[in-house]
Amino acid sequence: YKQIVLASRPKNEIIPSEVFRTEEGGPIPTDKTLKDGEIAIKVDYLSLDPAMRGWMNDTKSYVPPVKIGEAMRAYGIGTVTFSKHPRYNPGDLVVGTFGWREYVVTTGSGIEKVILPQGATPRDFLSTLGMTGLTAYFGLLRHVPENVLGPNCTVVVSAAAGATGSVVGQIAKVKGCKVIGIAGGEAKCRWVRGELGWDGCVDYKKKGWERDLREAVGRGGINVYFDNVGGDILDECLKLAAPHAKFIICGSISQYNTSKPQGPRAFLLVISKRITLKGFIVFDFLKEYDQARKELAQWLLEGKIKRMEHIVDGGIDAAPRALVQLFEGANTGKMMRLLLPL
Ligand code: NDP
């Protein structure tokens, strides 16, 4: 079977032909090749996440860097094909950190058996019920007090049409907030306003977007800003923040492809406006995933959260280019997932 390994570390943007290499991963695992305690998994979908760019850097972070020559780290969902492990049976659906591989052989560490809640699909475990949905859930609900979220609260979300941002805004709507998105392009903004029913969405690629944002936010200013992008958009939101605003620093995608990331230039406003900046990592809430998934699954079932998927076809070979496209905003209103043919 095939696997794609990290061949060299990118300095700035990812150039797939330079940083990745396709290799033979090994023989397709069978009942005969498995040892006692092992399971074989056929990978069905791989998740493409902006965080993968950070994992390629040789820097200390919340997880160790991917080693040169190692299969590129990636979450995935797959099906158990053979098992010599007491907890798994052929046909079981599993999620975990599989890497860019068509098959995985494991003793079970780092993988979870999926029990589908009513109305949920396997792919939900890479999106709304997976890392991005959980990030939205904990990022918003664990950092903004329940009594703050409501009709008097204006929430602004960047990368609004993306996997995490779109769920953040939908949860804020469930809580009755005024929600304004920021996204690249009018088509994404139309989807956010129309399909998701947010109160506004500003296209940051349009000239004069700063004025559009100011008008959409209104005189009261921003009470909660959920930051997925950093850079100029974070600066503009600092300028529009209400006193005592909460800024949830979830990600900073505009700064991932450079070795010299830009911090907020409007930083002094944090002092004068008494703004709280709160960073977090979704893994901090590992013990609460099951409870969050129950609530998110219920919202999916009731149609309060809508699914959005951007599936890239073409097998594992399409993974490197698809990862680059995530940084180009190709996932219009949906998240990127890679389909591996049977
Ligand atoms: P998305 O589905 O949101 O995809 C990324 C989106 O970012 C693109 O669609 C694009 O949309 C936007 N984007 C790309 N480049 C830029 C740029 N230069 N300026 C502004 N927007 C840009 O990805 P995810 O939902 O997976 O991730 C969203 C954020 O959440 C990331 O920053 C990620 O690192 C972070 N994250 C953090 C976690 C945590 O534990 N703290 C866990 C998971 C994710 P557009 O067309 O609108 O530009």
Nearest CA to ligand 1 atom 36: 251
* ipTM exceeds 0.85: yes
What domains can be seen in the chain, in order of their start residue? 2-121+309-339 (3.90.180.10), 131-283 (3.40.50.720)
CA distance 309 to 123: 9
Q: Give the pairing type, strands 276-279 and 39-47.
A: unpaired
Return per-residue pLDDT of the chain as tens, 342 residues: 999 999 999 999 999 999 999 999 999 999 999 999 999 999 999 999 999 999 999 998 889 999 999 999 999 999 999 999 999 999 999 999 999 999 999 999 989 999 999 999 999 999 999 999 999 999 999 999 999 999 999 999 999 999 999 999 999 999 999 999 999 999 999 999 999 999 999 999 999 999 999 999 999 999 999 999 999 999 999 999 999 999 999 999 999 999 899 999 999 999 999 999 999 999 999 999 999 999 999 999 999 999 888 888 888 999 999 999 999 998 864 455 665 554
Ligand 1 pocket test: which of 138, 164, 254 has the largest number of ligand atoms within 8 Å of its C-beta? 164
Instruction: Tokens 């809430």: give the residue.
Output: 285
CB 302 within 8 A of CB 144: no
Tokens read off for 163: 């996997």
Ligand 1 pocket test: which of 188, 229, 280 has the largest number of ligand atoms within 8 Å of its C-beta? 229
Tokens read off for 93: 């659906």
Distance from the CA of 230 to the center of ligand 1, in angstroms?
10
Helix (H, G, I), strand (E, B) or coil at 315: coil
- Our CA angle for 150, 151, 155, nearest 5°, is 70
CA distance 185 to 178: 21
- Tell me, rounded to whole angstroms, the distance of Cα 176 from its chain centroid: 24
CA of 110: how far to CAs of 36, 67, 107, 214, 258, in Å? Answer: 18, 18, 9, 44, 30
Distance from the CA of 50 to the center of ligand 1, in angstroms?
6
φ/ψ of residue 327, rounded to 5:
-80, -15
Q: Report the predicted TM-score, pTM, of the whole model to 2 decimal places.
A: 0.96
